[in-house]
Structures are given as C-alpha cells and as structure tokens.
A and B are shown apart, each in its own frame.
Chain A
Amino acid sequence: MTITNPDNAVKAPASSALSVTDLEVVYNVRGIPREVLRGVSFHIAPGEAYGLVGESGCGKSTTAYAALRYLPRNGRIVGGTVSVDGQDVTAMSNERLREFRARDASMVYQDPALAMNPTLRVGRQLIESFTLLGQSKTDAEKSALDALRKVRIADPERVMDRFPFQLSGGMQQRVVIAMALACDPKLLVLDEPTTGLDATVEAEVLDLVRVLRQESDAAVLLIAHNLGIIRSLCDRVGVMYAGRIVEEGPSAEVFDSPQHPYTVGLLRALPRRGVRKTERALATIPGLLPLIGSPLPTCVFLDRCAIASDLCHTTAPPLVAIGDGTGRFSRCHHVDRIGEIQETPVSVDIAMLNTSAKGADVLELTHVSKTFHQRNLAIPALVDVDLSLGEGETLGIVGESGSGKSTLAKTLLGIEAADEGGSVSLDGHFVAPLTTGRSADEKRSMQMIFQNPDSALNRSWTVRRILMRSVEKLTGIKGDEANTRVEALAAHLRLTPRHLDLKPRQLSGGLKQRVAIARAFAGDPRIVVCDEPTSALDVSVQAAILNLLADLQSEKKTSYVFISHDMGVVRYLADRIAVMYLGRIQELGPTDAVFNGPNHPYTEALLSAIPNVDGEERVRIRLDGEIPSPANPPSGCVFHPRCPRAMPGVCEVSEPPLREVEPGHLMRCHIPVEQLIELQRPPAQG
C-alpha cells in the first residue's frame, strides 16, 4: 500500500474519453453559493463503462450533468476541468458547446416519456437527430431505421409511425437510446436509465446496453442507485459521498471487498446474498448526510464513521492506492482498519420468530376477484385469489406493474369492493367489502403503509395532529391520554418529541416514513399492508425502516402483506411469497422454496432478471413481448405467449389450476414439477 499525493493520484490516462479533474460545482440557493461537488476526479477510457453510486444528494447526477455542462441555472462550475475526447468542456463558447452536445456526447434520462415530444411521431423525432448532423432527409430516414434495428426493435417501420405514448416504457427507452447513439457519441451518460421500468424490461434494456457497448467505443457514464446494475454493467465504479469520490476501483473488487467505511456501510445496508430477517438485522449508517454546502474541512464521512480517529478530525485523508495500484483508491486514513467495522447482530426477538410456528390464520381471502368497468369494457384486475395470512407472518407479493398487487391490497383493505362471490375474512369472521361497512375494530385491525410518504402524509398537518387523529379515531382514546399515547408511539419509532411539532416537509424521507408507520400502528393493527414502503428511500434509510418493521412485527405479532418489486427486500422480510401475473397468483410458497426453486416459469424469468450486486452468474431468461392488457387476457394460461417453456397444444388451451407441488408450495403451471426441476437445474451441475 502506498500513500500518494491526492493531486496526482488519479493521473489522467493519455487517451481518456471523459476526464474530470478536481471538479467543483456550487448551487446558488437564494443568493448563497452552496458547494455540491468538492473536487471530483475520475477518468473514463474509450469503450469503458464507469458507474457512479451513492445516496441521493451525494452529487452523482450533478457530476453527470456537469460533464455536459448542463447544470441548472443556479449551478456553476467554480473549479476544475472537464474534458471530453481532449476538448475542454468548461472553456467552450455557447456555440461550440451546442455543437459538442450534438456530436460528441449524449444523455439518456430516467423517464423516457419525458425525453420525447409527445405530439410528434417517433420517426420524425428520430430522423431529426440525423438531419441535425447534416444528413439529407432520405439518408436520415435510412439511418433512423438502422438505429431502431440496432436497439433491437423488431418492426422499425411500424414503430417509426407511432407516437411515443403508443409504445411501452421499455420500447420508449430503446428509442431514446437510439436517438442518443445517433451521433455515435464519444461519451454516453445514462442517468438512472431503468429506474421506472419493470424488472424483466429493465433486464432487456441492460442487455441492450451491454451489447451496444461492444459495438461502439463510446465511454459510458452510468448513474444508478441500484448497485446490482452498476456491477453487472460497469468496468469501474466510483462511490460518491457528499460531493466527493471516496472510493474507486473495478466494480467487482469494490463490491466484494470495499475499502472505505461508507462503501462498507452502503453494502451492508443492502439485503444481499439471500440474507433473512431471522439471520441478522441490516446495517444502518448512523447520522445524516451533511447538508448541501455545509463546510467539511477534513473527511466528508467523518461524522458518521465508526472508525474515525483524531487524525480524521484534523487532516483531510489523501487518496490511498490499494493493492498493486491497479486503479483502486480509497479516501480514508484507516484503510487497514476497515475490518473493525462491526456487523449488526440480530435482535433476540426476531431470532425467536423463526422457531415459532406459523400462528392461526388472521386473514383469509376466498375467491376474491376485482373487475373494473371502463365504459362497456370489463377489466379483470384480480382473478380468483385465495390467500391466507397467519398471525405474525409476512406475505410478500411480487410481480410487475399491472400484475394486480396494488389492487389486491386495496381490495383486502376495503378501499375497493371485491366482486360478488369473493370474501375477505378477519379472524374467521367475514368483513364487509368496503371500509365504510366495517366496524371500528375491523378498521383498526387493518392498516396500510404507503409507498410515497410525501403523498401519504397530509402536508398541512403537524406530525402530532396526524398521529393524534389516528389514535383517537382508531382506539377511541381522547384528550391527554391520547396525547400520551402519541408520544409513546413516536418514541417507539425513534421519533423525538421535537419531530411531533413539525410538518412532513420539514422531515427527511426516512423520518416521514417512520411517521407513516407510526400512524399505521396507532391502533395496534393485526394486519398491515406495506405497499413498496422503501422504494422511495435510499438504501441506508431502507435498512433502518426494514429493521423497524421486523422489530415491530416480532414485538406485536402483526401480520404483513408486503408488496415490493425488490426481490432482495422481499426475501429479507417475507416468510411466504406470492408471485402475481395479470391478476392471478402464479406461484405461492415459503420464501426459501420460491428462491430455491423449482419455480413457475414466470418466477424463474423474474428472478433471473435481477441484476445482482454479488455478481452471481445466473442463466438469463428472456421474456418476449409485453405484458398483455388485463382487459384482453390470453387464452389458457395467461403467461403462455411469453413463456419460454410453453407447451404448444396445452398451455394456450386451458388455464392450469394452482396446484401444490410440494408441501405449502403452489404453482399454476401445466408442466409437471419433476420436469421443471430438471429444466431449471443450474447448467454447472447438469
């Protein structure tokens, strides 16, 4: 290990496609310049993919935008240089900059729908990207068709004729990528390119990017909060914290043996390698991200670091080269002490939870269907769902958008009435289909935690009022006694009394979600439906919320219906998992059984689509086509048109029943389970 001077630690290779050196950016917030980037340096070689990771507010998007000098009006580059293919971007005139953006660099944004003009046909927009480069109309048209073929769009002529809204999210993102590649850029910046997409679609887009990388020698700068995506796509990764890169190196090495306390914290916060709530609590990083623009004279991570020493308080850590100096760096004084960072032990209560057998059924759904009516069209969003939920059990529900997860939640809570013929029962008693018909006690027993705490909390109420109202309404307790209960509830969720008198917008995302959880628990519910409760949060905050949910459950024997698209999270928290597709349960079983297989072919595809931060190799199963409209479901097994294992003559004829293939493990598939086991055996063993 050698300690080098920070200024020349990361030497710009002679031929880097993107070279960022000591970049400093400030945002002017009401007249006060606030430092967002505090000297960011990294270099990307032609054809290389570089990932930037870090939690929201760390400056990764700002870095990406600054690379194209595309900052918001109040943003300003105050130091350092950015050069793309040898051209200094920071010194360009506006005219030159426009030329540069048109010819040398491209950007793909998170939401493809916003990146296209909704009123113009796809073809016209795509052709424009080529005419802009000086091609004639006919040449541009030819190039546009080629570009669509290049991004694996099967029927380019037809797609050219469509409007953006007529394409699915995955197709839209392909078109946007085609536009970005039109100029054969030296630098391609991808800012969360798959965040809004479903898992199987995301996998397709990532596959595409992977293939395109081999075809062009553009340098790729990828911003993603999903570390699995970075690992599967990037050669090297930079971990950002508070406007500085704190660790850099080849992605596999950084993720397998992190050498900075922040990276360690970030990775331990993730539910990975199939860890379960009964094995250990997720690690959280204590403290908060420093405010934008706060002075951080020494190490940026100092306040939250477990191994900080006196030296860290006085001297800014230099970039330390690790190993043989093959481009691995950590900005830490104590790289040799990384191993001292403690794992979080599991609390005893949760460990007990594992041994206790599944309690009596609290909730039972029998033949629950929900059909929406639009004009004269019947749209079955939920078809004949049978489910039960034991006391203290967590049932994970997974599936892509449109699979009926949220409808299921709404129907069992009584926000939507189930169709005639289905029933919801609580502790063995039938309950009314709608909340309005349910008794106070039944309402108290079933509560919900929502995905987005900003929308779930009334922004003009204080936290105290929000909790007070729920306590009064759900328990009947009033006045001072209710206030005492509110304070106890808040304390239980680690909210301080000071938080009670604030409004939601004055709280961070994690605190808001705590308030929402406190509200759901105001009346000691039997069942809590959690609808993607952590998908809007950063990983370290997600870890704290998941730990909290596990703690509350072990203490109060609450049952959870846990909806999520994040398989790692579901695996961590759920005891059983239901996989849904087009409003039907396709597979239902204990978590281990679902993750170890045999699986329904849809589950198999879903599991194989997840980019994994641990770098395990999985056989990718591609799904062709798009999720069919629920209004017009395919005949027979609804999954057959996309199923890679469909048996012609059987699957499109009749819908398979949900059969038990092993104790407690149910599947809706015609293929005999023995055959599935055979088919799904990992190739290494077979």
Chain B
Amino acid sequence: MSESDQIEGNPESMVSTPAVDVIIPATPPAGPSERRAARKENWRLIRRRPSFIVGNIIAIVWVTCAVLGTRITPHDPLDFRAKPHLSPSSEFWFGTDKTGRDVLSRVMAGARDVLKIAPPAALLGVFFGVILGMLMGYIGKRVDIILSRIVEAFLALPVVLIALLAITTLGNSSWVVLGVVAVLFTPVVARTVRSAVLAERDLDYVTSARLRGESKMFIMFKEVLPNVSGPIVVELTVRIGYAVFAISTLSFLGAGPPPPSPDWGAQVSEGFNSISAGIWWTTFFPAAAIASLVIAVNLIADAVQSVLEAS
C-alpha cells in the first residue's frame, strides 16, 4: 500500500508543489489551527514510516529495561549465581557467564548504563556543536578559518585513543565518559551546522536584520537558528546512536564502569576470551543488544530525516 493512499483529511493543508510550473497561487488565509495541522501532518508522516515504528519498538524495549531494571529481570544481575557457562536453555534463555550470573538479566540491566549516558552526551555534543558551527558559519572570515582548522585537526585524531587517554587521566566515572563523548561529537556537529548556516547567511532576511541594527547574537540564535533546526534535529538523533556505540566501545576497552557492573561493552569484553572455547553466548547477546539499540536509533533518525527534508 502506498503512502499516499493512506492519507485523507483536509485537502487544503496538503497541497504541495509538483516539479513543474504549477505554483499554488495563494494558500487561503487560515488561522493558527492550520499551522498546527501542518505540524500534525508532519508528525503523522513520521509515525507512518515503517522504519520509525520498528526503531521505536526496539528502543522502547530497551528503555523499559533501563527504567525498570532489576524489577523485571528474571534474576539479580549481580548477586545471583548458577553454574558458570551454562548454554542458553529454557531456564537461562541467554545462558550464564563465567561466574554463573544470568546473561539475560545482565543484558537487560545493562541497558541502563548506556541509556543514562548516551542521550545526554549526544545532547551536550550537539549543544556545543551548534554554538561552534553557528560562529563558524555566521561570523565567517578569520573566525571560520581558525575554528575550521581546529575542527579538522580534531577530526584527524584517532578518536578512541584520545578518549582512552582522557578517561585514564580524568578517571572513568560516567560524567567523564559523558563529557568525553560530547567533546568528540562537537566538531562533527559543528561542521554540519556550519554548512547549514552558510546557506542561510546570504539570505535577505539576514541583511534586513542587519539593516535594522540587530546584534550578531540575535541574528544567529533568534533569526537563523530556527531555520537550521531541521538538520540539527536529525544530527541529534543520529548522534544518540553513535553515542551508544562510542560508550560501548570505551567500556569494551576497559574505560567504562568497573567490573561487577552489567555494562554491555564490559560484558562483551569479559566474555570475549571464551569465544574460542565455543562459549558464544556471553559475547553474542550483549553485542546484539548494542547493535539493536544503534540500529533502532538510526531507523528513527532515518524516518525523521526523510520527513523533515521533504517538507
């Protein structure tokens, strides 16, 4: 069933411009209700995308695990002990690890560690990236040249090494991981925002604002920012996915929460050595958890992007 067949409702709000000549002469004057309808329409389009639905189902599963934690895990993720290295069975669906803990319970509880850090880290990175990108794009000239070089230099560095170095120096608390991921994301976001701002800067509404004597701050954050919110929202969603990935990588390398914690990256790292012995489940399930969350977030980002870019 094609998308267009499913949509019905107020035809006025749905007139779009075909590729040729046909310009809608005038949207009939209408109140704010129409604007709300347009926003609702966008939201409805996003909701109808299969990638959005699938992505959300997966994400909701993990968020539920993170919120409820030990209240829904079949066993205690830390203290429960059975025989070590039991393979998956009807009793222990995901098997047990080398100290006999239930892998399913640990994977479920591990969602909390990732979801506590990834979204705030992405948000912080986008926040700084927007400020930096705005300065580069709008002020331009020397500011842009200098900041661009710094951003490029930053992007050329081996990310994982820098992160590890920072975490070993500053300690591996969640706050440090959060901060490090945010800092790593800032230049990437800055670059996206810069190019969006560059396209806006030469539009006449900016000239008009300058003509009535607006400050640079006002123009950047009140005039231009709302017009580049599309790419920023997309960037934020994409970054959450990358943050999940980055945090898991760091804890895999030992820069995450200390051992008893059921963090996914740490679990993969713990079980990693036993793979050669045929004990795949201690690695596979936490790894699959990481992958599913990253994919879920990316599916959502994809849906958001395609709708925002079309409108």
Contacts and interface: CB of A to CB of B under 8 A. Distances in A.
Interface string A256-295: 0000000000000000000000000000000011111000
Given A59-B21, A75-B18, A292-B15, A448 B211 contact: yes
Interface string B1-13: 0001111100100
Interface in A61-78: 61-62, 65, 71-75
B18 A74 contact: yes
Nearest to B2: A31
How many residues of B sit at the interface, in one of the four size bands? 35 or more
A501 B15 contact: no
Interface in A440-458: 440, 443, 446-448, 450-452, 455-458
Interface in A448-499: 448, 450-452, 455-461, 469-470, 473-474, 496, 498-499
A288 B25 contact: yes
A508 B26 contact: yes
Contacts of A28: 4
Interface stretch (B29-37, B152-160, B297-305): B29-37
Contact of A496 (B29, B35, B203): B29
A507 interface: yes
Contacts of B19: 72-73
B212 A506 contact: no
B227 A458 contact: yes
Contact of B20 (A61, A506, A510): A61
A508 B27 contact: yes
Contacts of A501: 31-32
B210 interface: yes
A519 interface: yes
B207 interface: yes
B208 interface: yes
Contact of B212 (A74, A443, A459): A443
A415 interface: yes
A362 B32 CA distance: 42
A290 B22 CA distance: 12
A538 B210 CA distance: 29
Nearest to B14: A30
A456 B213 contact: no
B223 A458 contact: yes
B212 A498 contact: no
Contacts of A505: 27
A514 B212 CA distance: 18
Contacts of B7: 30-31
Contacts, number: 134
A499 B29 contact: yes
B21 A57 contact: yes
Contacts of A71: 20
A315 interface: no
A72 B31 CA distance: 32
Contact of B208 (A27, A57, A74, A448): A448
B39 to A, nearest CB: 11
Given A450-B204, A501-B32, A507-B27, A56 B21 contact: yes
A31 B29 CA distance: 23
B277 interface: no
Interface in B202-235: 203-205, 207-208, 210-214, 223, 226-227, 229
B161 interface: no
Contacts of A288: 25-26
Contacts of A452: 204
A29 B25 contact: no
B25 A508 contact: yes
Contacts of A438: 213
Given A57-B24, A458-B227, A459-B227, A473 B214 contact: yes
B16 interface: yes
A450 B174 CA distance: 52
Contacts of A507: 26-27
Contact of A29 (B15, B27, B29, B204): B15
Nearest to A465: B222
A290 B27 CA distance: 10
A368 to B, nearest CB: 18
Contacts of B27: 502, 505-508
Nearest to B202: A455
A362 to B, nearest CB: 17
Given A435-B213, A508-B26, 15 more contacts: A27-B22, A71-B20, A72-B19, A289-B26, A291-B25, A292-B22, A292-B24, A415-B211, A450-B204, A450-B208, A460-B226, A474-B212, A502-B27, A506-B35, A507-B27
18 contacts: A29-B15, A32-B14, A59-B22, A61-B21, A62-B22, A71-B20, A290-B25, A291-B15, A415-B210, A443-B213, A448-B208, A450-B207, A455-B204, A456-B203, A498-B29, A501-B31, A506-B27, A508-B27
Enumerate the 7 nearest inter-chain pairs by beta-carbon distance, A residue then B residue, closest first.
A61-B21, A508-B26, A31-B4, A460-B226, A289-B25, A72-B19, A456-B204
